[in-house]
Amino acid sequence: MAAPVVEASPAVRVRSNLEELGMDRMAELAGEHMSLVAAGSKTYAESLLELTDAQIAAVRERDLWRRVQKANFPYVKTLADFDFSFQPSLSRPVVEDLATMGFLERGENVVLVGSPGVGKTHIAVSLGVEAVRCRKLTYFADCQRLVDDLKRAAAKGQLERRMRFYAHLSLLILDELGYLGIDKEGADLLFQLVSRRYERRSTIVTTNVGIGAWAQVFGDPVTASAIADRVCHHCHVIRITGRSYRMKDILPDLPGRDRRDAENGE
Protein backbone atom coordinates (compact mmCIF):
# COMPACT_ATOMS: atom_id res chain seq x y z
CA MET A 1 0.00 0.00 0.00
CA ALA A 2 1.35 3.44 -0.96
CA ALA A 3 2.23 5.69 1.96
CA PRO A 4 -0.25 8.53 2.44
CA VAL A 5 0.93 11.82 0.95
CA VAL A 6 1.60 14.25 3.79
CA GLU A 7 1.11 17.79 2.61
CA ALA A 8 3.49 20.39 3.96
CA SER A 9 2.02 22.76 6.53
CA PRO A 10 0.78 26.20 5.33
CA ALA A 11 3.73 27.81 7.13
CA VAL A 12 6.22 25.71 5.18
CA ARG A 13 4.37 26.32 1.90
CA VAL A 14 4.25 30.08 2.48
CA ARG A 15 7.99 30.08 2.95
CA SER A 16 8.54 27.99 -0.14
CA ASN A 17 6.20 30.23 -2.20
CA LEU A 18 8.01 33.35 -1.06
CA GLU A 19 11.35 31.79 -1.97
CA GLU A 20 10.05 30.87 -5.41
CA LEU A 21 8.88 34.46 -5.89
CA GLY A 22 12.34 35.72 -4.94
CA MET A 23 11.08 37.33 -1.72
CA ASP A 24 13.99 35.98 0.28
CA ARG A 25 13.83 38.44 3.18
CA MET A 26 10.07 37.90 3.60
CA ALA A 27 10.64 34.15 3.50
CA GLU A 28 13.17 34.43 6.33
CA LEU A 29 10.84 36.48 8.52
CA ALA A 30 7.51 34.83 7.66
CA GLY A 31 7.55 32.13 10.37
CA GLU A 32 8.29 34.59 13.15
CA HIS A 33 5.56 36.92 11.91
CA MET A 34 2.97 34.13 11.74
CA SER A 35 3.64 33.38 15.42
CA LEU A 36 3.38 37.08 16.34
CA VAL A 37 0.05 37.44 14.52
CA ALA A 38 -1.26 34.19 16.04
CA ALA A 39 -0.30 35.45 19.51
CA GLY A 40 -2.09 38.74 18.85
CA SER A 41 1.10 40.84 19.18
CA LYS A 42 0.69 42.18 15.65
CA THR A 43 -2.26 42.68 13.36
CA TYR A 44 -2.18 40.98 9.98
CA ALA A 45 -1.83 44.38 8.26
CA GLU A 46 1.07 45.41 10.51
CA SER A 47 2.83 42.18 9.82
CA LEU A 48 2.38 42.42 6.05
CA LEU A 49 3.59 46.00 6.10
CA GLU A 50 6.74 45.10 8.07
CA LEU A 51 7.45 42.10 5.87
CA THR A 52 7.11 44.07 2.64
CA ASP A 53 9.17 46.95 4.09
CA ALA A 54 11.93 44.48 4.99
CA GLN A 55 11.86 42.99 1.48
CA ILE A 56 12.03 46.43 -0.14
CA ALA A 57 14.96 47.41 2.12
CA ALA A 58 16.82 44.22 1.16
CA VAL A 59 16.25 44.83 -2.57
CA ARG A 60 17.45 48.44 -2.26
CA GLU A 61 20.52 47.41 -0.30
CA ARG A 62 21.44 44.80 -2.91
CA ASP A 63 20.87 47.28 -5.73
CA LEU A 64 23.11 49.85 -4.01
CA TRP A 65 25.80 47.22 -3.45
CA ARG A 66 25.69 46.20 -7.13
CA ARG A 67 26.12 49.82 -8.22
CA VAL A 68 28.92 50.36 -5.67
CA GLN A 69 30.72 47.32 -7.13
CA LYS A 70 30.45 48.76 -10.63
CA ALA A 71 32.02 52.03 -9.45
CA ASN A 72 35.36 50.24 -9.04
CA PHE A 73 36.27 51.71 -5.63
CA PRO A 74 39.51 50.31 -4.14
CA TYR A 75 37.66 50.01 -0.82
CA VAL A 76 34.25 51.06 0.38
CA LYS A 77 34.33 53.61 3.17
CA THR A 78 32.02 56.47 4.07
CA LEU A 79 32.33 59.79 5.88
CA ALA A 80 30.99 58.02 8.98
CA ASP A 81 34.24 56.00 8.97
CA PHE A 82 36.39 59.15 8.75
CA ASP A 83 37.91 60.50 11.97
CA PHE A 84 37.86 64.26 11.42
CA SER A 85 39.45 64.88 14.82
CA PHE A 86 42.61 63.17 13.51
CA GLN A 87 42.81 65.59 10.56
CA PRO A 88 42.04 69.13 11.85
CA SER A 89 43.25 70.77 8.62
CA LEU A 90 40.21 69.29 6.89
CA SER A 91 37.00 71.24 7.40
CA ARG A 92 34.20 68.85 8.28
CA PRO A 93 31.41 71.29 7.21
CA VAL A 94 33.08 71.73 3.79
CA VAL A 95 33.26 67.96 3.24
CA GLU A 96 29.72 67.43 4.54
CA ASP A 97 28.50 70.13 2.17
CA LEU A 98 30.18 68.33 -0.74
CA ALA A 99 28.43 65.13 0.41
CA THR A 100 25.06 66.79 -0.27
CA MET A 101 26.09 66.46 -3.96
CA GLY A 102 25.39 70.09 -4.88
CA PHE A 103 28.78 70.21 -6.64
CA LEU A 104 27.70 67.31 -8.83
CA GLU A 105 24.47 69.04 -9.84
CA ARG A 106 26.50 72.12 -10.79
CA GLY A 107 29.18 70.17 -12.71
CA GLU A 108 31.91 71.40 -10.34
CA ASN A 109 35.14 69.60 -9.58
CA VAL A 110 36.96 68.72 -6.36
CA VAL A 111 40.74 68.54 -6.02
CA LEU A 112 42.07 66.92 -2.85
CA VAL A 113 45.73 67.81 -2.32
CA GLY A 114 47.96 66.31 0.35
CA SER A 115 50.83 63.97 1.14
CA PRO A 116 50.31 60.18 1.29
CA GLY A 117 48.01 58.74 3.93
CA VAL A 118 46.15 61.91 4.91
CA GLY A 119 42.80 60.55 3.70
CA LYS A 120 42.44 61.92 0.14
CA THR A 121 41.27 58.64 -1.38
CA HIS A 122 39.02 57.94 1.62
CA ILE A 123 37.23 61.29 1.17
CA ALA A 124 37.01 60.78 -2.61
CA VAL A 125 35.53 57.28 -2.14
CA SER A 126 33.07 58.57 0.49
CA LEU A 127 31.82 61.24 -1.92
CA GLY A 128 31.68 58.60 -4.66
CA VAL A 129 29.59 56.26 -2.50
CA GLU A 130 27.24 59.16 -1.78
CA ALA A 131 26.95 59.84 -5.52
CA VAL A 132 26.14 56.15 -6.14
CA ARG A 133 23.48 56.37 -3.41
CA CYS A 134 21.99 59.27 -5.41
CA ARG A 135 22.00 56.97 -8.45
CA LYS A 136 24.73 58.94 -10.24
CA LEU A 137 26.91 56.98 -12.63
CA THR A 138 30.26 56.97 -10.82
CA TYR A 139 33.64 55.45 -11.60
CA PHE A 140 36.88 55.39 -9.67
CA ALA A 141 40.09 55.17 -11.71
CA ASP A 142 43.73 55.30 -10.79
CA CYS A 143 45.08 58.14 -12.94
CA GLN A 144 47.96 56.13 -14.40
CA ARG A 145 45.69 53.19 -15.22
CA LEU A 146 43.17 55.47 -16.90
CA VAL A 147 45.88 57.02 -19.06
CA ASP A 148 47.23 53.56 -19.96
CA ASP A 149 43.69 52.42 -20.75
CA LEU A 150 43.17 55.37 -23.13
CA LYS A 151 46.55 54.74 -24.77
CA ARG A 152 45.68 51.07 -25.32
CA ALA A 153 42.30 52.05 -26.76
CA ALA A 154 43.98 54.56 -29.09
CA ALA A 155 46.45 51.90 -30.27
CA LYS A 156 43.54 49.57 -31.09
CA GLY A 157 41.57 52.31 -32.87
CA GLN A 158 38.95 52.30 -30.10
CA LEU A 159 39.72 55.63 -28.47
CA GLU A 160 36.34 57.22 -29.15
CA ARG A 161 34.44 54.35 -27.51
CA ARG A 162 36.62 54.40 -24.41
CA MET A 163 36.66 58.19 -24.24
CA ARG A 164 32.87 58.17 -24.36
CA PHE A 165 32.72 55.79 -21.40
CA TYR A 166 34.79 58.14 -19.21
CA ALA A 167 33.24 61.32 -20.60
CA HIS A 168 29.66 60.26 -19.85
CA LEU A 169 30.14 59.40 -16.17
CA SER A 170 28.32 61.76 -13.81
CA LEU A 171 31.28 61.51 -11.46
CA LEU A 172 34.80 60.43 -12.34
CA ILE A 173 37.31 59.99 -9.53
CA LEU A 174 40.85 60.39 -10.80
CA ASP A 175 43.05 59.03 -8.05
CA GLU A 176 46.74 59.64 -7.47
CA LEU A 177 47.47 62.21 -10.13
CA GLY A 178 51.14 63.04 -9.86
CA TYR A 179 52.48 59.85 -8.25
CA LEU A 180 53.92 58.89 -11.62
CA GLY A 181 54.89 61.12 -14.52
CA ILE A 182 52.66 61.23 -17.60
CA ASP A 183 54.19 61.51 -21.07
CA LYS A 184 53.06 63.78 -23.91
CA GLU A 185 50.63 61.24 -25.43
CA GLY A 186 49.09 60.53 -22.00
CA ALA A 187 48.80 64.25 -21.24
CA ASP A 188 47.06 64.89 -24.57
CA LEU A 189 44.58 62.07 -23.93
CA LEU A 190 43.88 63.33 -20.43
CA PHE A 191 43.39 66.82 -21.79
CA GLN A 192 40.84 65.52 -24.31
CA LEU A 193 38.93 63.78 -21.52
CA VAL A 194 39.03 66.76 -19.17
CA SER A 195 37.85 69.04 -22.00
CA ARG A 196 34.90 66.78 -22.80
CA ARG A 197 33.81 66.74 -19.16
CA TYR A 198 34.46 70.45 -18.63
CA GLU A 199 31.53 72.35 -17.08
CA ARG A 200 29.18 69.41 -17.66
CA ARG A 201 30.31 66.58 -15.44
CA SER A 202 32.18 66.51 -12.15
CA THR A 203 35.61 65.06 -11.53
CA ILE A 204 37.29 64.48 -8.18
CA VAL A 205 41.09 64.48 -8.41
CA THR A 206 43.35 63.28 -5.60
CA THR A 207 46.96 64.39 -5.85
CA ASN A 208 50.11 64.74 -3.81
CA VAL A 209 51.27 67.56 -6.09
CA GLY A 210 50.02 71.15 -5.69
CA ILE A 211 48.18 72.33 -8.82
CA GLY A 212 50.93 74.86 -9.56
CA ALA A 213 53.40 72.00 -9.94
CA TRP A 214 51.34 69.86 -12.35
CA ALA A 215 53.63 70.99 -15.19
CA GLN A 216 56.31 68.69 -13.74
CA VAL A 217 53.90 65.74 -13.69
CA PHE A 218 52.93 66.12 -17.32
CA GLY A 219 56.31 66.90 -18.75
CA ASP A 220 54.64 69.24 -21.20
CA PRO A 221 53.87 72.53 -19.40
CA VAL A 222 51.41 73.80 -22.02
CA THR A 223 49.15 70.74 -21.82
CA ALA A 224 49.60 70.68 -18.03
CA SER A 225 48.35 74.22 -17.68
CA ALA A 226 45.45 73.53 -20.09
CA ILE A 227 44.44 70.52 -17.94
CA ALA A 228 44.82 72.50 -14.69
CA ASP A 229 42.85 75.38 -16.20
CA ARG A 230 39.83 73.23 -16.99
CA VAL A 231 39.95 71.16 -13.79
CA CYS A 232 40.33 74.21 -11.56
CA HIS A 233 37.63 76.37 -13.11
CA HIS A 234 34.52 75.82 -10.89
CA CYS A 235 36.53 73.74 -8.46
CA HIS A 236 36.73 73.11 -4.72
CA VAL A 237 40.40 72.77 -3.80
CA ILE A 238 40.85 71.01 -0.47
CA ARG A 239 44.31 70.84 1.05
CA ILE A 240 44.93 68.30 3.78
CA THR A 241 48.10 69.15 5.63
CA GLY A 242 48.01 66.77 8.60
CA ARG A 243 49.96 63.59 9.20
CA SER A 244 49.45 60.17 7.69
CA TYR A 245 46.69 58.07 9.20
CA ARG A 246 48.73 55.01 8.32
CA MET A 247 51.30 56.19 10.90
CA LYS A 248 48.81 56.90 13.64
CA ASP A 249 49.53 53.72 15.55
CA ILE A 250 53.27 54.30 15.41
CA LEU A 251 53.61 57.97 16.29
CA PRO A 252 51.58 58.07 19.54
CA ASP A 253 53.95 55.52 21.04
CA LEU A 254 56.95 57.78 20.56
CA PRO A 255 57.87 59.98 23.52
CA GLY A 256 57.37 63.80 23.17
CA ARG A 257 60.39 65.08 21.21
CA ASP A 258 60.83 61.98 19.03
CA ARG A 259 57.19 62.14 18.06
CA ARG A 260 57.38 65.83 17.05
CA ASP A 261 60.47 65.08 14.98
CA ALA A 262 58.80 62.14 13.27
CA GLU A 263 55.72 64.24 12.48
CA ASN A 264 57.94 66.90 10.96
CA GLY A 265 59.54 64.21 8.84
CA GLU A 266 62.92 64.52 10.60
Contact (Cβ atoms closer than 8 angstroms) between residue 180 and residue 144 = yes
Q: Which residues contact 77 (CB under 8 A, 6 or more apart)?
A: 122, 125, 126, 129
Query: Quick one: what does residue 77 bind among ligand ADP, Mg ion, none, with the CB cut-off 5 to 8 Å set by partner type?
Result: ligand ADP
- Assess 128 for contact with ligand ADP (CB under 6 A): no
Residue of the chain from 83, 96, 199, 229 that contacts ligand ADP (CB under 6 A): 83
Residue 243, amino acid: R
Site for ligand ADP (CB under 6 A): which residue of 28, 117, 163, 209? 117
C-alpha 218/C-alpha 227 separation (Å) is 10
Asked whether position 122 contacts ligand ADP by CB under 6 A, the answer is: yes
Q: Considering beta carbons, is residue 27 or 171 the nearer one to ligand ADP?
A: 171
Q: In what order do the strands lie in the sheet with 109-114?
A: 138-142, 171-177, 202-207, 109-114, 235-240
97-134 as b/e, with b when 16 or more CB fall inside 10 Å? ebbebebbeeebbbbbbbeebbbbbbbbbbbbbbbbee
Taking the least distance from each CB to ligand ADP, the nearer of 119 and 186 is 119
Window 229-258: contact mask with ligand ADP (x via CB under 6 A): ----------------xx------------
Burial classification of residue 139, based on how many CB atoms lie within 10 Å of its CB (0-12 exposed, 13-18 middle, 19 or more buried):
buried
Q: Are 233 and 106 in contact (CB under 8 A)?
A: no
Q: How far is the CB of 29 from ligand ADP (least distance, A)?
A: 34
Residue 246 interacting entry, from ligand ADP, Mg ion, none, C-beta within 5 to 8 Å by type: ligand ADP
Find the part of the chain contacting ligand ADP (CB under 6 A) among 54-62, 74-82, 102-110, 194-202.
74-82
198 touching ligand ADP, by CB under 6 A? no
Among residues 200, 190, 226, 195, the alpha carbon closest in space to that of 211 is found at 226
Among 206, 220, 224, 226, binds ligand ADP (CB under 6 A): 206
Which range, of 81-89, 159-167, 182-190, 253-261, touches ligand ADP by CB under 6 A? 81-89
Q: Which stretch binds ligand ADP (CB under 6 A): 76-84, 129-137, 151-159, 212-220?
A: 76-84
When CB distances are held under 5 to 8 angstroms depending on the partner's kind, the choice from Mg ion, ligand ADP, none that residue 114 binds is ligand ADP
Site string for Mg ion, 106-145 (x = CB under 5 A): ---------------x------------------------
Binding residues (CB under 6 A) for ligand ADP: these are 77, 81-83, 86-87, 114, 116-122, 206, 245-246
